[in-house]
């Protein structure tokens, strides 16, 4: 097993020890992920990044990662593979010569 798989197994044990798998369907996991993502964003609301409470950022980011891992596990997705595939798609959508130093969305690059 690798470290990521170890973490997934720890998450599943935590969930299963509490009989929470019954609540962990993709819809509810996605909603929980969205809520945790909003809580992460709230740590930055009305302040610059340097003023954010890093301990709170860590906690919220851990929640975001955890729910994302639960969703990937539900569908038996290879996390490394789906990220690699997304990078490959983005390389096509955002060619270096058009996107370097530019924050425009791919359909606005011209």
pLDDT digits (tens, 9 = 90+) for 36-56: 999 999 999 999 999 999 999
* Angstrom distance (rounded) from CA 59 to CA 63: 6
**Whether the predicted pLDDT of 22 surpasses 80:** yes
**Whether the predicted pLDDT of 1 surpasses 80:** no
Task: Give the lowest-confidence range in 31-35, 61-65, 90-94.
Answer: 90-94
Reading the block at residue 53, the tokens are 């409470």
Identify whether the C-beta of residue 1 lies closer than 8 Å to the C-beta of residue 9: yes
pLDDT digits over 65-74, tens only? Answer: 999 999 999 9
* Angstrom distance (rounded) from CA 74 to CA 94: 30
Contacts of 106 (CB under 8 A, 6+ apart): 93, 94, 99
Q: How many residues does the chain have?
A: 110
Reading the block at residue 35, the tokens are 């809520």
* Angstrom distance (rounded) from CA 103 to CA 109: 9
- Tell me which architecture the domain covering 3-101 has in CATH: Orthogonal Bundle (1.10)
Average pLDDT of 21-33? 98
Q: Average per-residue pLDDT in the chain?
A: 95
């Amino acid at each position: 097993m690798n470290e990521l798989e170890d973490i997934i197994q720890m998450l599943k044990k935590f969930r299963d020890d509490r009989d929470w798998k019954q609540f962990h369907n993709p819809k509810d996991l996605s909603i929980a992920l969205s809520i945790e993502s909003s809580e992460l964003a709230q740590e930055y609301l009305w302040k610059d990044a340097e003023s954010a409470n890093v301990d709170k950022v860590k906690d919220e980011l851990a929640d975001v990662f955890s729910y994302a891992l639960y969703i990937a596990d539900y569908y038996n997705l290879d996390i490394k593979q789906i990220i690699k595939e997304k990078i490959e798609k983005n390389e096509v959508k955002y060619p270096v010569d058009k996107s370097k130093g530019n924050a425009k969305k791919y359909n606005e690059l011209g």
